[in-house]
Amino acid sequence: MGRGRLILIEGLDRTGKTTQTSILTDRLKPNAQLIKFPDRSTTIGKLINQYLTDKNFNLPNQSVHLLFSANRWEVAENIKETLLNGTNVILDRYVYSGIAYSAAKDVDGMDLQWCLNPDKGLLKPDLTLFLTNESNDDAERDGFGEERYENVQFQKKVKKQFYAAFTEFETPNSNTLKLVDVTNKSIEEVSEEIWKLVQPILSNKEENQEFSFF
């Protein structure tokens, strides 16, 4: 039996990541576990939650960045063990969100490489799917604007940084990154598209047993 596959779904706020990661996990059950970042249930996650939801709770940008990274390290071993047991792990956000949201703040010194550094050594996904929405519908969805970072201006900067991070840290032509355009598509259409992209990754389990790392 091969190891499980690590599949990441990334995207801006309200592009449907949470819906799609749970559809994909259900489809693969019982052979899949869903992990969402930030995991707001841990001690570090609770601080992150407070930072995101309480605009009067301020922390230095560098500290916040390190908290998000620390939150990933809290479950890193669990992810590896699950994969070694043959179970697939589906991630709702991960390292690229960490880099893109922090780099979008335009803080001196917090460039892409600085942002990646604390995540160095984390497992790299076998497949990263980036959901993009070319209309501004995402801004109109329920709840948009309630949390820190949820404004159209900032989201534009984040999108740019996502692409910059992919260019910098994904191996070109390696087939480990796919863009999924969700513009004007139904949940079912997007989930079918995702399913088609995921299947080849799951069917070659006997190959590529080695883990890759950031």
In the complex, the residues that contact ligand NYM under the rule CB under 6 A are: 13, 37-38, 52, 68, 93, 97-98, 101, 147, 149
Residue 203 structure tokens: 């069917």
Phi, psi at 65, each rounded to 5°: -60, -45
Q: Are 129 and 194 in contact (CB under 8 A)?
A: yes
157 vs 205 by CB, closer to ligand NYM: 157
Nearest approach, Cβ of 80 to ligand NYM (angstroms)? 18
Spatial contact of 34 and 22, defined as CB atoms under 8 Å apart: yes
**Which tokens go with 184?**
């004007």
Smallest separation (angstroms) from ligand NYM to the CB of 67: 9
Nearer to ligand NYM, 3 or 44 (CB): 44
Host H or E run for residue 113: helix 112-116
Q: What's the closest the beta carbon of residue 206 comes to ligand NYM, in angstroms?
A: 32
> Is 119 or 193 the residue whose CB approaches ligand NYM more closely?
119
| Strand partners of residue 177 | 128
**Which CB atom, from 67 or from 202, has the smaller least distance to ligand NYM?**
67
